[in-house]
Amino acid sequence: MDRPAWAPPGIDISKPSVSRMYDFYLGGSHNFEVDREAARKAMEFMPGLPKIMQANRAFMRRAVRFAVESGITQFLDIGSGIPTFGNVHEVVQKANPRAKVVYVDHDPVAVEHSKVVLDGNDGAAALAADLRNPQEILNSPEVKGLLDLEQPVALLLVAILHFVEDTDDPYTAVAELRDALAPGSLLVLTHASYDGVPAREEAAGTVGVYEKTRNPLVMRTRDEIARFFEGYDMVEPGLVQMPHWRPETPPEQEDPFTFSGYAGVGRSA
C-alpha cells in the first residue's frame, strides 16, 4: 500500500479513520484509499452522507458565528477533524482577530495537518487527545497556554459523540468538561440519530460499515442526545434537526438526508 508523502510516520493506513472518511465526504484530499473505500461503501446504504456532512459544517459555522456575536472569544473544538474551508479559526478570527481556538482530535493525520494549517497563527493550536479523557485535554499545554477557563468558552462537540460508545460513558466526559468551564460557556453539539433518516434499514447498513473502523457509529434518540445538555440552558430554537437551527435559507429546500440527526447550543448557568 503506497504511503503518501504527507502521511505522518507510524500511522496505520490499513484501517479506515472516521475523520479521514469525513474529509472524503467533504471533498478533501487528506484521506487514504482504505478511507475512500469505506466511505463509498457507507454511501451505498446512505447516498446522502456528503449532504449530511455539509449540513453539519453549515450548522457549525452558524453556531460559531452566534458564539462570536454572544461575546465568546475562546473555542475548544474536540473531534475537530481535518481542516477544510471555513474551519472554526477562520470563522471566529475573521470576526475577532484576537479570538483563541484549540483543536483536539485523536487522529494523527488530523492533528498534523491542523498544525500545518495553523503555522504562524499565535491564536490557535492543535493537540492529539481523546474526548474520553477530559483531564488530558484540560491540562494540556495547548489549552493552558491559549485558553482562560475562568472566562466563557465555546465547547464544540460536533459529530463526535456518536463515535463514543455507552461503555465509555460519554455523559460523564461531557459533564466533566462542562464543570471545568466558566459559567456562560456554550456547548455546540451535533449527533447522528435514526430520527429523520429517509430509510432506517439503509442507515443500519451504514452503521455496519462504521463497525469496521476504530470508532463504531452509535445512533441515539433525541432524548438520549438531550441528556448531554444537562446543566445548560438551551438556546432557541433548542435541540432540532440541523437545517432547522437558525437557518439562513428555508430548510424545506434541503436534501432529505440533511434532517438526519440533531443539533443544538446550550449555555451554562
DSSP state of 121: -
Residue 186: name the closest of 145, 124, 239, 229 by CA. Answer: 229
| pLDDT > 90? residue 173 | yes
Please check whether residue 5 is in contact with residue 109, taking contact to mean a CB–CB distance below 8 angstroms: no
Q: For residue 126, what is its C-alpha cell? A: 492543535
DSSP, collapsed to helix, strand or coil, labels residue 208 as helix
What CA–CA distance (Å, rounded) separates 17 from 264?
Answer: 26
Please check whether residue 222 is in contact with residue 168, taking contact to mean a CB–CB distance below 8 angstroms: no
> 18-268 falls under which CATH superfamily?
Vaccinia Virus protein VP39 (3.40.50.150)
Phi, then psi, of 85 in degrees rounded to 5: -55, 140
Phi, then psi, of 127 in degrees rounded to 5: -140, 155
What CA–CA distance (Å, rounded) separates 82 from 117?
Answer: 10
**H helix intervals, the chain:** 18-25, 33-45, 49-69, 88-95, 108-117, 134-138, 141-146, 170-180, 200-210, 222-226
- Greatest C-alpha distance within the chain: 52
> Comparing 9-23, 48-62, 92-106, 212-226, which segment has the lowest mean pLDDT?
9-23
Q: What is the mean pLDDT of residues 105-134?
A: 92
> Comparing 31-40, 77-86, 179-188, 233-242, which segment has the lowest mean pLDDT?
77-86
Phi, then psi, of 66 in degrees rounded to 5: -60, -45
Give the position of cell 465509555. 168
Amino acid identity, position 164 = V
pLDDT at site 76: 98
| pLDDT > 60? residue 1 | no
> Comparing 2-11, 50-59, 79-88, 205-214, which segment has the lowest mean pLDDT?
2-11
| pLDDT > 70? residue 128 | yes
Q: For residue 27, what is its C-alpha cell? A: 471533498
| pLDDT > 60? residue 194 | yes
Q: pLDDT for 68-105, tens place per residue?
A: 999 999 999 999 988 776 789 999 999 999 999 999 99
DSSP, collapsed to helix, strand or coil, labels residue 153 as coil
DSSP, collapsed to helix, strand or coil, labels residue 167 as helix
At 123, the pLDDT band (50, 70, 90 cuts) reads very high
Q: How many C-beta neighbours within 10 Å does residue 131 have?
A: 22
Amino acid identity, position 220 = R
| pLDDT > 70? residue 9 | no
